[in-house]
């Protein structure tokens, strides 16, 4: 029997993991610099949380969730995204009593049973954040600048930011009627999903994966032209806050986002390099979600960015990731007695945080040297009976071939000083 990874999933191998670690570390650093703290949420939740939170007319909920009954007969779903779980945790852990805004970031896997395409996976990774308690447009601009700062610190340039406002329930309900009037003569020729959306949530017809490109959808009235005064002022506030820090954006009335919880601000960072949909990062405000999930009315806003798509973009832009040398020194053993001493030295070095390796394969002197070379280990120390009796070893720097004589007794201190 030959097993392979499931369609839409994959291994992240040691040859690539350093890129992921750099991205994750930088994301955490940037979030910390904005006052965000990490939250870790469970991989699965009760299905109803997503149906209620993400929305039961969305493709994510109706078509893409990994849902199953557990052995206790509960309907369980592998998280298709992080927001609903973070909102559940915010409510369950009484975080509304913390000083506002409550700022949480995360690094999660997410699962969607999607049709395969470039940049689309069934298990993928998201770096995201959620912020609760602040209503003003300043925080909308601030979370956008988290992404902007992250991209810049990673060395990425020219990723387009598209912003839009999809209003509040009040302007949305008026707009829904306008949209229905507009689509009524066309609805019978639209896909089955759109026919259902027409009654339940006509806004979803705008981002239909089947009918979305049709002229009738492209020319439909856009919500941004029907915003109420408060929503208009909020959107103006977002723009002036972005202008103030020099973050460039395009207003894109077509962004409605694929999840139902959004109100007012929605945004996406897009690029042609990451596949059909082109979105590296998407987010927005969700002022009704906490209440909808059983909490007190609380404004919220957040985003998530696919790590796979971020790395595709980074590669397309030629971003260089440098690999750190985890192992600094290789100790070549020339005899059993030398090997016994080497294991003591290695133990001491590791206790002091210096990465080192020694032979565990009974390799000859020559093959140990060859192995260390292949692994690109920057320093090499040979220890045999001569070195044991003289109490002196030579530490070779592989980059320039220079050798330094070091006393065996002081070897750990020497390595800490030169290799940490």
Residues that bind ligand HAM (CB under 6 A): 81-83, 112, 114, 119-121, 124, 126, 128, 130, 258-259, 279-284, 302-306, 308-309
CB atoms within 10 A of CB 60: 19
Which CB sits closer to ligand HAM, 260 or 387? 260
Which CB sits closer to ligand HAM, 109 or 195? 109
102-111 and 75-78 as β-strands: parallel, antiparallel, unpaired? unpaired
CB of 268 to ligand HAM, least distance (A): 7
CB of 188 to ligand HAM, least distance (A): 30
**Residue recorded with tokens 């290695």:** 346
CB of 20 to ligand HAM, least distance (A): 14
Q: Is the preceding omega at residue 101 within 30 degrees of 0, hence cis? A: yes
What residues have CB less than 8 Å from 401, skipping those under 6 apart?
Answer: none
Rounded CA separation 420/73 (Å): 53
Please say whether the beta carbons of 266 and 284 come within 8 A: yes
CB of 350 to ligand HAM, least distance (A): 38
CB of 141 to ligand HAM, least distance (A): 15
Question: For 107, phi and psi rounded to 5 degrees?
Answer: -135, 105
35, two tokens: 């006052």
Cα-trace Rg, the chain:
28
CB of 180 to ligand HAM, least distance (A): 26
What residues have CB less than 8 Å from 169, skipping those under 6 apart?
Answer: 263, 288
223, two tokens: 């919500």
Which CB sits closer to ligand HAM, 6 or 188? 6
Which CB sits closer to ligand HAM, 101 or 333? 101
**Residue recorded with tokens 């059909």:** 276
Which CB sits closer to ligand HAM, 50 or 183? 50
Q: For the chain, how long is the longest CA-to-CA vector?
A: 96
Rounded CA separation 276/278 (Å): 6
Which CB sits closer to ligand HAM, 54 or 372? 54
Rounded CA separation 77/47 (Å): 5
Which CB sits closer to ligand HAM, 114 or 357? 114
CB of 155 to ligand HAM, least distance (A): 19
CB of 331 to ligand HAM, least distance (A): 43
H or E segment and range at residue 329: strand 329-333
Which CB sits closer to ligand HAM, 133 or 302? 302
CB atoms within 10 A of CB 208: 17
């Amino acid at each position: 029997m030959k097993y392979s990874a499931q369609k839409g999933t994959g291994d992240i191998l040691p040859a690539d993991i350093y890129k992921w670690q750099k991205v994750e570390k930088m994301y955490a650093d940037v979030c910390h610099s904005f006052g965000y703290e990490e939250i870790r949420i469970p991989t699965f939740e009760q299905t109803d949380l997503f149906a209620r939170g993400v929305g039961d007319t969305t493709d994510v909920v109706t078509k893409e969730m990994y849902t199953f009954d557990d052995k206790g007969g509960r309907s369980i779903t592998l998280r298709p995204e992080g927001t609903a779980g973070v909102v559940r945790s915010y409510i369950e852990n009484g975080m509304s009593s913390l000083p506002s805004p409550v700022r949480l970031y995360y690094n999660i896997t997410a699962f969607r049973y999607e049709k395969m395409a470039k940049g689309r996976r069934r298990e993928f990774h998201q770096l995201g954040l959620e912020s609760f308690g602040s209503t003003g447009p300043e925080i909308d601009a601030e979370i956008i600048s988290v992404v902007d700062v992250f991209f810049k610190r990673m060395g990425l340039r020219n990723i387009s930011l598209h912003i839009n406002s999809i209003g509040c329930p009040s302007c949305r309900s008026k707009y829904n009627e306008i949209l229905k009037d507009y689509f009524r003569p066309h609805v019978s020729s639209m896909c089955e999903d759109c026919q259902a959306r027409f009654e339940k949530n006509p806004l979803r017809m705008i981002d239909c994966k089947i009918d979305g490109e049709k002229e009738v959808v492209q020319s439909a009235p856009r919500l941004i032209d029907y915003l109420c005064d408060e929503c208009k002022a909020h959107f103006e506030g977002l723009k002036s806050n972005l202008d103030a820090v020099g973050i460039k954006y395009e207003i894109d009335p077509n962004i409605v986002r694929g999840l139902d919880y959004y109100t007012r601000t929605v945004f996406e960072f897009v690029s042609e390099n990451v596949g059909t949909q082109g979105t590296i990062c998407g987010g927005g405000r969700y002022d009704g979600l906490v209440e909808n999930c059983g909490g007190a009315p609380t404004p919220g806003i957040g985003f998530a960015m696919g790590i796979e798509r971020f790395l595709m973009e980074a590669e397309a832009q030629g971003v260089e990731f440098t690999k750190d040398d985890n192992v600094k020194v290789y100790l070549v053993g020339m005899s059993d007695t030398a090997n016994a001493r080497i294991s003591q030295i290695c133990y001491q070095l590791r206790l002091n945080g210096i990465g080192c390796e020694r032979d565990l394969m009974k390799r000859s002197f020559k093959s140990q040297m060859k192995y260390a070379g292949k692994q690109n280990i920057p320093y090499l120390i040979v220890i045999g009976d001569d070195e044991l009796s003289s109490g002196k070893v030579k530490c070779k720097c592989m980059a320039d071939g220079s050798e330094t004589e070091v006393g065996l007794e002081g070897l750990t201190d020497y390595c800490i000083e030169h290799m940490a």
